[in-house]
Amino acid sequence: MTFLSPLASLIAIAVLVPLGAHAILERRARRIAGKLGLPIPPMRSRFGVALAIAVAAALFGAAAAQPVISSTRTRLGRSDAESYFLFDTSRSMLARRDFGSPTRLARAKRLALHLRQSLGDIPVGIASLTDRVLPHLFPTLDAQVFSTTLRDSVGIERPPPEGEGTVATDFNSLADVGTNNYFSPQASKRLLVVFSDGESSRFDDVVLSQAFRRGHVHVLFVHVWGPREQIFLTPHSPDPGYRPDPESRRAAELVAAGGGGKVLGEDGASLASAAKAFLGSGPETSLREQRTRVSLAPFVALATLLPLSFVLLRRNL
């Protein structure tokens, strides 16, 4: 068992306040009982309330420290290579050929699942992009965790962009992948696969290229886009405010070139071939990965009801 926020347990020090109040009340009760000639309750009964208060405070402190139980699993995989699949989740990724066809984001997810299967021994993570990059899953060999995260966490504007521009996607933020330790230090081959329609606000491709080089990040850009695609508000009503950007291909080429890679279309076989060509082969090693994490904080917090119930019971007697 580990604690995620051990310093938060210091909240238990607050027990001094109710204990001090209890001591004052006890002294007052003894003084009044002595003046009235009443029997003084035995120390054992008075000590029980103080102990219950202390136990409740200790449990609150333990709950605040966020205790968790984690399980790990050892898998065979490459420690010299990692990849991130980054998904553009701006609203333009809702575009599609007609109302019954899959959206750009749905097509991107389908390609990503196929690529994940092709890179079985490579740890793969998931990130999303609007006007900032957000990691959803750090590189893992667990295909089930990957598919679950992709299905449940990656969605249009989840989270929404911070800015209020007409174009939500900002490729400038991709520099974070090269500079903010997204990849493990031991991973010498670092592949970023960008699934996007390429419709971005203006960005500095020179600065982006420098960030990719500094982080040794290789980029494959999957251009999920069509010139006649539209965002449908209803089956027969496309959004009049959206038009596919004919310059999106050029933007995709600039991003890919900055990472020493290339732009690919919606062809799963070509994408898998390009990824494998860069990642190559390497020695497999045993990698320990966290499998599950169960938080005990809610149960510990609930347990405080027992000593608190005792205090209330003694108070009403």
pLDDT of residue 219 exceeding 60, the answer is: yes
pLDDT of residue 203: 96
**What is residue 68's predicted lDDT score, i.e. its pLDDT?**
80
Task: Reply yes or no on whether the pLDDT at 69 is more than 70.
Answer: yes
DSSP letter for 92, please.
G
Q: Which residue has the higher pLDDT, 248 or 21?
A: 248
Residue 119 has pLDDT above 70, yes or no: yes
Nearest to 46, CA basis, from 16, 22, 28: 22
Query: pLDDT tens digits, residue range 166-208?
Result: 788 999 999 999 999 999 999 999 999 999 999 999 999 999 9
What mean pLDDT, rounded, does the chain reach? 87
| Segment 134-143 mean pLDDT | 94
pLDDT at 290 over 60: no
Dihedral of alpha carbons 227, 232, 236, 241, sign: negative
pLDDT (mean) for 44-48: 60
Q: Is the pLDDT of residue 18 over 90?
A: no
Measured N-to-C along each axis, helices 268-279 and 104-118 cross at an angle, to the nearest 10 degrees, of 50
pLDDT score at 289: 58
pLDDT at 30 over 90: no
Instruction: Give the lowest-confidence range in 70-79, 98-107, 124-133, 267-276.
Output: 70-79
Q: Does residue 274 have a pLDDT over 70?
A: yes
Residue 56 clears pLDDT 80, i.e. is over it: no
Taking the C-alpha atoms of residue 266 and residue 256, their distance in angstroms, rounded to an integer, is 15
What percent of the chain clears pLDDT 90, i.e. is strictly above it?
Answer: 60
What would the mean pLDDT of 92-119 be, rounded to a whole number?
97
Q: What is the pLDDT of residue 23?
A: 67
Residue 294 corresponds to which tokens in the numbers above?
Answer: 């169960």
H/E stretch holding 136: strand 133-140
Query: Given this model, what pLDDT does residue 52 score?
Result: 74
Tokens read off for 64: 């605040």
Residue 245 has pLDDT above 70, yes or no: yes
Asked if residue 43 has pLDDT above 60, the reply is no
Rounded Cα–Cα distance for residues 184 and 125 (Å): 11
**CA-to-CA distance for 91 and 33, rounded, in angstroms?**
74
List of long-range contacts for 261-266, beta carbons under 8 Å, 24+ apart: 261/218, 261/219, 261/220, 261/221, 262/220, 262/221, 263/221, 263/222, 263/223, 264/220, 264/221, 264/222, 264/223, 265/222, 265/223, 266/107, 266/111, 266/222, 266/223, 266/224
Higher pLDDT, 47 or 283: 283
The alpha carbon dihedral of 132, 136, 142, 146 has a sign of: negative
The token duo for 143 is 């295909």
Tell me the β-bridge partners of 290: 72
Strand ranges across the sheet with 2-3 = 2-3, 67-78, 284-295
How much of the chain is helix, strand and coil, in % rounded to 5?
Answer: 45, 25, 30
**pLDDT bracket for residue 61 (50, 70, 90):** confident
Closest CA to 70 of 9, 3, 141: 3
Selection from 1, 141, 153, 143 nearest residue 70 by Cα:
1
Burial of 214 (0-12, 13-18, 19+ CB in 10 A): exposed
What is the token pair recorded at 240? 């009049």
pLDDT score of 163: 76
Instruction: List domains and CATH numbers for the chain.
Output: 2-70+292-316 (no CATH), 81-282 (3.40.50.410)
Confidence of residue 58 (pLDDT cuts 50, 70, 90): confident
What's the whole-number mean pLDDT along residues 45-66?
A: 73
Let me know: does 307 contact 12? Beta carbons within 8 Å.
no
Q: Give residue 73's pLDDT band: very low, low, confident or very high (50, 70, 90).
A: low
Residue 291: pLDDT band (50, 70, 90) is: low
Q: Looking at residues 209-214, what average pLDDT do you find?
A: 97
**How confident is residue 313, by pLDDT bands cut at 50, 70 and 90?**
confident
What pLDDT does residue 22 have? 62
Tell me 7's DSSP state: G
Structure-token pair, residue 156: 């249009």
Q: Six-digit token pair at 80?
A: 């010299």
- Which residues make beta-bridge pairs with 18? none
